[in-house]
Amino acid sequence: MNLALSKADQSLIDSYELYKSPSTSITRPSPSGAQTLADWVQKGYIEKNSTSMAAQDMGLAFERATSTP
């Protein structure tokens, strides 16, 4: 989500983050975020078999110096 929002204009950010309009679509910047993520996987920055984690689980794994919750 953050990769997509990094390419968003202010009106889209206001719509998504502040619920200023009924539409919270982020379809315009999404391809850029998806391509960046694919590039990072290809370059080895992110493992191909990685999965997402909840923020709390990620913090706990970091504190334990592991990659699993």
- Host H or E run for residue 61: helix 55-63
In a domain, 21, yes or no: yes
The parts of the chain modelled with pLDDT lower than 70 are 1, 22-30, 67-69
In a domain, 68, yes or no: no
In a domain, 69, yes or no: no
In a domain, 47, yes or no: yes
pTM of the model: 0.45
Q: Which residues contact 8 (CB under 8 A, 6 or more apart)?
A: 16, 26, 28, 29
From the list 15, 8, 10, the residue with the least C-alpha distance to 33 is 8
In a domain, 42, yes or no: yes
Determine the structural domain holding residue 38 and report its residue range.
2-63
In a domain, 24, yes or no: yes
Write out pLDDT tens, residues 2-16.
777 777 788 878 887
What's the domain count of the chain? 1
